[in-house]
C-alpha cells in the first residue's frame, strides 16, 4: 500500500526508476558542540557516537563503503550517507579527501551529508555545489525544533537564525536541504511542533526526517529522565503529532524518515519506539480512514 505522504522511495523511483539503498559512513569527524568550539557534551540526547552507533570506526571510509558495494548487484544504486557527528566540520581539503574516499563506484548516485547549521560556510557550500555537478547532493541539518527555548534546554549550541542562514547558503548554490526534527522533546507541546512546521514550510525545505524522541543510556537526557525531570510522550501521542505534522507540511516536502531507532542494548526509554512497523501502519491507516494526505491542511501559499 502506498503511503499517504511523499517518501524518499517515491523520490528515488522518480529519479532512477528503482529503490535506492543507503550506505552509512563514519567519516571520522567530531562536533563543535563537543570539542569546546561552541559547547561541550553535545546535545543532551546525543550518544557517545553521535548517531551511527552500529558503524565500525576502525574501518576506513573506503572499507566501509566496499563492505556493502562488494556484495551489491551490478545494477543497484546507492546513497553514501556520512552519518555521525558533524560531517562538514573540517577544512575543505579534508572534507574533499573524505568524501572522495567513498565515491569510487559508479553505482553511488547520491552524496548525503549530515551536519550542523553552524558548520555551513560559503566555502563548504561551494564544495558541495562542486560535487552536485556529478552527484545528487543532500545536506541534512539537525534542527530538532524551531524553538530557541527548547534548543537551549537540549544544549543544541545554535539558534534558529543560524539554521535559517545555513539554509540560505545552501539554497543559494541550488542544493537541497533535509531537516531533522524530533517530536516529543522535553516539555514541548503541539504548539511547539506547529511553530517548527511553520518554519519548515516558510523556508520550503526539500525534505524532513521526523524522529520520535528516544533516550539513550549514558546521555545527559538519560540523567534528566532518571531524575524525573520529564516523561516521554506515549506512542499514541507521537502518532497524533506525526499525523498533524504530515498533514500540515507542504505536499512536495519529501519525508525521509518517520520513526527514530536505537540499538536495543543502548535504549533506556520509551520501549514503544521499537514497534516501528506498528507505528507506520497506524499512521497510514488513520490517514487513509480519514481521507487525509500530506499537506491536506497546509495553509502556506
The domains of the chain are located at 8-289
Is residue 171 classed exposed, middle or buried when 0-12, 13-18 and 19+ CB atoms within 10 A define those classes? Answer: middle
Q: Which residues contact 1 (CB under 8 A, 6 or more apart)?
A: 284
Read off the pLDDT of residues 23-64 as tens digits, 9 standing for 90 and up: 999 999 999 988 888 877 889 888 765 455 455 667 999 999
Q: Cα–Cα distances in Å, from 185 out to 57, 147, 203, 233, 298?
A: 29, 11, 22, 9, 23
Read off the pLDDT of residues 81-96 as tens digits, 9 standing for 90 and up: 999 899 999 999 999 9
Q: How far apart are CA 2 and CA 166, in angstroms?
A: 33
Q: Do 176 and 139 form a contact (C-beta atoms < 8 A)? A: yes
pLDDT in tens, the chain (301 residues): 799 999 999 999 999 999 999 999 999 999 998 888 887 788 988 876 545 545 566 799 999 999 999 999 999 999 999 998 999 999 999 999 999 999 999 999 999 999 999 999 999 999 999 999 999 999 999 999 999 999 999 999 999 999 999 999 999 999 999 999 999 999 999 999 999 999 999 999 999 999 999 999 999 999 999 999 999 999 999 999 999 999 999 999 999 999 988 889 999 999 999 999 999 999 999 999 999 999 999 987 5
Q: How far apart are CA 165 and CA 181, in angstroms?
A: 17
Q: How far apart are CA 290 and CA 237, in angstroms?
A: 17
CA 215 to chain centre: 17
Homologous superfamily, domain 8-289: Aldolase class I (3.20.20.70)
| pTM score of the predicted model | 0.94
Amino acid at each position: 500500500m502506498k503511503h499517504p505522504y511523499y517518501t524518499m522511495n517515491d523520490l528515488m523511483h522518480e529519479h532512477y526508476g528503482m529503490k535506492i539503498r543507503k550506505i552509512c559512513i563514519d567519516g571520522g569527524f567530531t562536533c563543535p558542540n563537543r570539542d569546546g568550539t561552541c559547547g561541550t557534551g553535545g546535545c543532551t540526547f546525543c550518544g557517545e557516537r553521535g548517531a551511527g552507533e552500529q558503524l565500525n570506526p576502525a574501518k576506513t571510509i573506503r572499507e566501509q563503503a566496499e563492505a556493502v558495494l562488494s556484495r551489491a548487484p551490478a545494477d543497484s544504486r546507492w546513497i553514501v550517507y556520512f552519518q555521525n557527528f558533524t560531517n562538514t566540520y573540517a577544512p575543505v581539503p579534508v572534507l574533499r579527501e573524505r568524501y572522495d574516499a567513498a565515491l569510487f563506484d559508479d553505482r553511488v548516485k547520491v552524496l548525503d551529508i549530515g551536519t550542523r547549521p553552524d558548520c555551513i560556510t560559503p566555502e563548504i557550500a561551494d564544495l558541495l555545489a562542486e560535487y552536485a555537478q556529478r552527484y545528487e547532493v543532500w545536506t541534512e541539518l539537525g534542527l530538532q525544533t524551531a524553538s530557541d527555548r527548547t534548543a537551549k534546554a537540549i544544549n543544541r549550541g545554535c539558534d534558529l537564525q543560524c539554521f535559517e542562514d545555513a539554509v540560505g547558503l545552501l539554497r543559494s548554490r541550488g542544493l537541497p536541504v533535509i531537516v531533522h526534527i524530533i517530536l516529543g522533546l522535553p516539555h514541548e507541546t503541539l504548539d511547539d511542533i506547529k511553530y517548527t512546521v511553520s518554519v519548515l514550510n516558510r523556508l520550503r525545505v526539500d525534505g524532513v526526517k521526523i524522529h520520535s524522541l528516544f533516550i539513550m543510556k549514558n546521555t545527559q537526557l538519560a540523567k534528566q529522565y532518571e531524575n524525573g525531570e520529564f516523561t516521554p510522550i506515549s506512542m499514541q501521542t507521537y502518532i497524533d503529532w506525526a499525523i498533524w505534522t504530515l498533514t500540515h507540511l507542504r505536499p512536495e516536502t519529501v519525508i525521509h524518515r518517520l520513526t527514530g531507532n536505537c540499538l536495543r542494548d543502548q535504549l533506556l526509554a520509551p520501549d514503544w519506539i521499537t514497534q516501528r512497523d506498528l507505528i507506520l501502519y497506524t499512521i497510514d491507516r488513520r490517514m487513509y480512514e480519514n481521507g487525509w494526505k500530506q499537506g491536506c491542511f497546509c495553509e502556506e501559499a
